Amino acid sequence: MRRAAPAALLIASTLVSPLAAQIRWRYSQPISTPHAVAFANRDLTESSGVAASHAQPGILWTINDSGNDPVLFATDTLGRDRGTFRVRGARNEDWEAIGIAPCGTRSCLFIGDIGDNDARRRDIVIYRVAEPTLPRIGTVRSATARAVGLRVRYPDGPHDAESLFITRNGDVLLLTKGPPGIRLYRVPASAWRRGGSVMAESVGTVPIVPELASLRLVTDAALAPDGVHVAVRTYREIFFLRLANGRLIPDDPPRACDTFGIQLQGEGLDWLDSHAIVLTSEKAFLQAGSVAVVRCSD
């Protein structure tokens, strides 16, 4: 994240759906007080998303955002440097999200070059690349297989977004960051077979009201192992929603977890298992980029 649009933020609360405005979220605190651990790799300063490997338990994949090289960073929940991989065939205009899902017989990483602070990009890009394999010990410096890029347009014009996740049927769902509301778009799994470019489908709004004063701007989202629950992160909280008929609806009862103070510039989020969530952050003020694990009560 680089900057927001203040004018748009000031009017955001007047341009959201009545449903979102009426929801009363039940807030909880993390069950344990987590300790954020700084990344050992000092080149990892702008961690804008995180994906927990399924094929290599314990490995986390993360990325730097705009102004950086197209590089994948491998780390773990202790922040250790497990390697870097230059993504062949890709460029980093504003990488803001990363997800992981099967693609054929392989595990693939989906990198969202979807940031657009000024909402001016004619199209965005989602890269799909085979997950690199790490040695059991040590650190590696290498390159990935060649990535496949899919150019995506929104049907209603440009949006700033920092979040994506992949459904069990391979659809990519994108969430906009905030003002004048949080919107959800779908890129069908079939788009990868066609290649080239695709028009995303507008699915509707997400029932969270963006607010500047409370730092409620969406920075990441991830699908739980059950394929139903979705965690949506803002700078200071995690909202828990359910994926139903392609839409995101509040959990029952509507619940959120207040994570304020864990990371100053918290951006990345993924599920480690059915209960534990990993968070990553950019470098901010005098704090290095970091990783933390939280468990939020039901």
Q: Answer whether residue 21 shows pLDDT above 50.
A: yes
**In the chain, what are the domain boundaries?**
6-295
Query: Is the entire prediction scored with pTM above 0.85?
Result: yes
**Range with the lowest mean pLDDT among 3-7, 81-85, 186-190?**
3-7
Kindly indicate the confidence band of residue 13, based on its pLDDT and cuts at 50, 70 and 90.
Answer: very low
Three-state SS letters, 145-206? CCCEEEEEECCCCCCCEEEEEECCCCCEEEEECCCCCCEEEEECCCHHHHCCEEECEEEEEC
Please give the average per-residue pLDDT across 141-154, as a whole number.
98
Indicate if the pLDDT at residue 109 is higher than 60: yes
Tokens 């480690």 found at: 272
How crowded is the C-beta side of 14, counted as CA atoms within 13 Å? 5
186-231 tens-digit pLDDT = 999 999 998 899 999 999 999 999 988 788 999 999 999 999 999 9
Q: What is the pLDDT of residues 166-177, one digit of tens each?
A: 999 999 999 999
6-295: which CATH number, 3.90.550, 2.120.10, 2.40.128, 3.40.1710? 2.120.10
Are β-strands 197-199 and 276-281 bridged in parallel, bridged antiparallel, or unpaired? unpaired
The per-residue pLDDT of the chain, averaged, comes to 92
pLDDT at 264: 87
Q: Is there a contact between 150 and 200 (Cβ–Cβ < 8 Å)?
A: no
- Report whether pLDDT(66) > 50: yes
Write down the pLDDT at residue 213. 76
